[in-house]
Amino acid sequence: MRSIVVTGCAGFIGSHLSEKLLQLGYKVIGIDNFDPFYPKKTKEENLSGFIHNSSFTFHELDLRIDSSLDCIEDHIDLVVHLAGKAGVRPSIEDPQGYIDSNISATRNVLDFMRKKGIKKFAFASSSSIYGNNKEVPFSETHNVDRAISPYAFSKKSCEVLNHSYHHLYDLDIINMRFFTVFGPRQRPDLAIHKFLKLMQNDQEIPMFGDGTMARDYTYVSDTVEGVVKSCKYLFEHENVFETINLGNSYPILLSEMIDIIAKKAKCEPQINHLPMQAGDVDQTYADISRAKALIGYNPKVKFEEGIERFVAWFNNK
């Protein structure tokens, strides 16, 4: 039985990924520090479906601390590194926190792998690193030197850091650039979750800009499938350093997103028009041809179907 470490296992994507890996017969070693960005109770609920699985082991660790991982003595075949601080706007208020939680923590994970002789690494990067790239869809070959938020530069820095460890220590690495993942357990600060809650409470929705800002929303099961396929690729190949987009390749306008949530939730949205926020990109739009060719990535869930599933989960949680 192969063993996979999932950092950030109590988070939105990490909990879905851990469940999927356990279903596929992997042993999962989960790591989380219960960062107070949102309530610990929410993360404990995320873990509740698999915390007692005999193939799952949990460690509450802070990856920002040097050698924090040294207490793990299990055999490990691969690390999926999802942990880190997320969010563009909070990163503007706390850039050092993002340097510590994203860049320094990633270095600590890589050093742990180097010391333990673990060769396979799947890293959660972000579409934010493309900035306001005018050329769409975003391709992995595009220049990403013009980050417009500390969150974005922290993720770009990690990709560069990963390459240095690939070069120096022969680590096999895939950087997976996630594009606005949504679905059950989505973080409460993210737009879809927040907007639905506001609508159902008959409160105003803050709409930044004129509604033409667009995001390439990707349903969580499709993102998880992309991560699983990345792991399989790493297990089957040597001398790997790849970067792939895990998006849906179908951007949705902000105004359209609000309308679809309102339709599925049977609510009437009240809009509070606000200026664009610093650090926000105008649009994200993934070219997924490389992920399709490399790992067989093929997102299946359309946006409206995903919102319908999210509303059903939200109303029953």
Mean pLDDT value of segment 306-317: 95
Q: Which long-range contacts (CB under 8 A, 24 or more apart) does 190-197 make?
A: 191/254, 191/257, 192/217, 192/257, 192/261, 192/307, 192/310, 193/310, 193/314, 195/257, 195/258, 195/261, 195/269, 196/261, 196/265, 196/310, 196/311, 196/314, 197/314
Residue-level pLDDT at 309: 98
Q: Is the pLDDT of residue 53 over 80?
A: yes
Percent of the chain predicted with pLDDT > 90? 92
What domains does the chain contain, in order, with CATH numbers? 3-179+219-247+288-299 (3.40.50.720)
Residue 183: closest CA among 222, 148, 214: 222
What are the structure tokens assigned to 222, written together? 């499709």
What are the structure tokens assigned to 307, written together? 């919102």
> Residue 303: which pLDDT band, with cuts at 50, 70 and 90?
very high
Residue 4: closest CA among 22, 27, 24, 20: 27
Helices 12-23 and 220-236 pack at an angle, to 10 degrees, of: 60
Q: How far apart are CA 32 and CA 6, in angstroms?
A: 9
Residue 226: closest CA among 205, 203, 242, 214: 242
Residue-level pLDDT at 317: 80
Dihedral sign for Cα 227, 233, 235, 240, please: negative
Residue 301: closest CA among 146, 196, 182: 182
* Chain segment 66-82, per-residue pLDDT in tens: 999 999 999 999 999 99
* Average per-residue pLDDT for the chain: 96
Mean pLDDT value of segment 297-310: 98
Residues 6+ apart with CB under 8 A from 269: 195, 199, 205, 258, 259, 261, 262
Residue-level pLDDT at 280: 83
Q: Is 290 exposed, middle or buried (0-12, 13-18, 19+ CB in 10 A)?
A: middle
Q: Is the pLDDT of residue 180 over 80?
A: yes
Q: How far apart are CA 22 and CA 15, in angstroms?
A: 11
Q: How far apart are CA 276 and CA 278, in angstroms?
A: 7
Phi-psi region of 185 (alpha: psi -120 to 50; beta: other; left: phi over 0): left
Helices 303-316 and 191-200 pack at an angle, to 10 degrees, of: 60
Phi-psi region of 239 (alpha: psi -120 to 50; beta: other; left: phi over 0): left
Q: Is the pLDDT of residue 38 over 90?
A: no
| Known catalytic residue at 169 | no
The catalytic residue among 26, 151, 165, 219 is 151
**Phi, psi for 283 (deg, rounded to 5):** -160, 160
Least confident of 92-96, 135-139, 274-278: 274-278
> Residue 276: which pLDDT band, with cuts at 50, 70 and 90?
confident
DSSP class per residue in 79-145: EEE--S---HHHHHH-HHHHIIIIIIHHHHHHHHHHHHT--EEEEEEEGGGGTT-SSSSB-TTS---
Reduced to 3 states (helix: H, G, I; strand: E, B; else coil), residue 305 is helix
* Chain segment 83-126, per-residue pLDDT in tens: 999 989 999 999 999 999 999 999 999 999 999 999 999 999 99
Q: How far apart are CA 28 and CA 93, in angstroms?
A: 34
Percent of the chain predicted with pLDDT > 70? 100
Residue 216: closest CA among 152, 278, 126: 126
Residue-level pLDDT at 37: 86
Q: Is the pLDDT of residue 279 over 80?
A: no
**Tokens 């792991």, located at residue:** 231
Residue-level pLDDT at 212: 92
Q: Is the pLDDT of residue 6 over 80?
A: yes
What are the structure tokens assigned to 8, written together? 């950030």
Q: Is the pLDDT of residue 250 over 80?
A: yes
